[in-house]
């Protein structure tokens, strides 16, 4: 019997596995918004708005403030990319990775 799941190769395409940064952001979401979900239970590709995590615009503003404080860059409310940036935990993590520490 052979196994089709590689054990030593990271599953980069696995939608349910959080990267270290995604986990860090999941903890930030849960703690800053007092969510009743474990950070590890947040699926990285699930929507943050509506049917996914159920966040609303006020929640997103709070997350933006916390991300700005922790990672040292501004998430502006008038950025036309916000809908894409906050579409999922994975997209937020990608944006943070591209912008943290950048002056």
Residue 98 lies in a domain: no
Q: What is the spatial distance between Cα 86 and Cα 56, in angstroms, rounded to a whole number?
A: 11
Which run of H or of E encompasses 16? none
Residue 82 lies in a domain: yes
Note the helical H segments in 44-88.
57-71, 82-85
Show the domain range for 36: 20-91
Give 84's pLDDT tier (boundaries 50, 70, 90).
very high
Q: How confident is the model over 5-57, as pLDDT tens digits?
A: 333 333 445 567 999 999 999 999 999 999 999 999 999 999 998 888 999 98
End-to-end CA, the chain: 53
User: What CATH code is carried by the domain that includes residue 66?
Assistant: 1.10.1200.10
Q: What is the spatial distance between Cα 20 and Cα 23, in angstroms, rounded to a whole number?
A: 5
**pLDDT value at position 32?**
96
Residue 45 lies in a domain: yes
Q: Which residue has the higher pLDDT, 9 or 93?
A: 93
Q: Is 34 left (phi over 0), alpha (psi -120 to 50) or beta?
A: left
């Amino acid at each position: 019997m052979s196994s089709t799941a590689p054990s030593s190769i990271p599953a980069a395409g696995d939608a349910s596995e959080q990267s270290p940064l995604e986990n860090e952001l999941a903890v930030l979401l849960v703690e800053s918004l007092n969510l009743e979900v474990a950070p590890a239970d947040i699926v990285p590709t699930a929507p943050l708005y509506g049917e996914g995590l159920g966040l609303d615009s006020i929640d997103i503003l709070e997350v933006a403030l916390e991300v700005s404080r922790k990672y040292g860059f501004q998430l502006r409310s008038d950025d036309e990319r916000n809908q894409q940036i906050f579409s999922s935990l994975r997209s937020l993590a990608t944006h943070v990775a591209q912008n943290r520490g950048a002056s």
